[in-house]
Amino acid sequence: MNIADLRKSYEKAELSETESHADPLKQFDLWLQQAIEAKVPEPNAMTLATVGSDLRPSTRVVLIKGYDERGLVWYTNYESRKGRELAGNPFAALQFHWVELERVVRIEGVVEKVSDADSDAYFHSRPLDSRIGAWASPQSEVIDGRGVLVANAARFGAKFLLNPPRPPHWGGYRLKPEQWQFWQGRKSRLHDRLRYTLQGDGGWRRERLAP
């Protein structure tokens, strides 16, 4: 099969200025809840894009763990590549792609660490093996093989038993949105695309973009 011949007609829904929320957070909440109700695989998965000091972008998939008017939250290793890049350049972009609903949400903004209290609370809500894993994995570093991870997990498991503390190199980030885009696939590639841009008074300007 020629990959260039792959085609799909998008016909599931539409997105209009009159039917969408004036507040992008409410529109996001609606779409996320609909993705969960539709049993979309991993509806909480989002692509995170960061840029390093060499100006080269990189992406990876992380899981959203909370959102409110302050922004969208995820947790990770602060010493990973993304953590190092965010330390040097605290601007990032997120993208959700709910294929089954023919929808994409893109968010851009500035990133900050969440409070230690929030990171502690989430860390201690995780399963024990995940808490041990945060200690066992030197994320983004070169290792000799999977045996390194297994040995580290055994070592930290024996050290902390049932009560591993949150590692100092692990915690949460919050992206504070400055721009949202909502994309709904439509027939004939005439897709619906709405952009929300943060204004100086804290409100949002909603505009339609050509697809």
Helix (H), strand (E), coil (C) string for the chain: CCHHHCCCCCCCCCCCCCCCCCCHHHHHHHHHHHHHHCCCCCCCEEEEEEECCCCCEEEEEEECCEEECCEEEEEEECCCHHHHHHHHCCEEEEEEEEHHHCEEEEEEEEEEECCHHHHHHHHHHCCHHHHHHHHHCCCCCCCCCHHHHHHHHHHHHHHHCCCCCCCCCEEEEEEEEEEEEEEECCHHHCCEEEEEEECCCCCEEEEECCC
Residue of 84, 189, 193, 205 marked active site: 189
User: Is-catalytic flag, 189?
Assistant: yes
Residues classed as catalytic: 189
